[in-house]
Structure 1
């Protein structure tokens, strides 16, 4: 179980951070930077919830 969480974390890190931030910079500039300022300290730790939060703003 613990290893699963770690593997999932690295998968999320590699896929979501690169892919989502790439899409974000082009399509959701304002929303991303707004959410980024709010969650700046925990940006990478909460990348999943951050992406979901920013998506809900649309």
Structure 2
């Protein structure tokens, strides 16, 4: 069970890193990927997005 928790924690840590990196690229306008207009326009709060990413 400890290995499962470690794996889950590692997954959440990586997901959080990817989420923050993606948000920073959106803010800078450096993201080349297709995103929904509301995300590209910045109509979100970083805290809420990052908080939601922890619920997976």
With structure 2 as the length reference, what TM-score do the two structures score? 0.44
Relative CO higher for 1 or 2, CA cutoff 8 Å, sep ≥ 6?
A: 2
Name which one, 1 or 2, has greater alpha-carbon Rg: 2
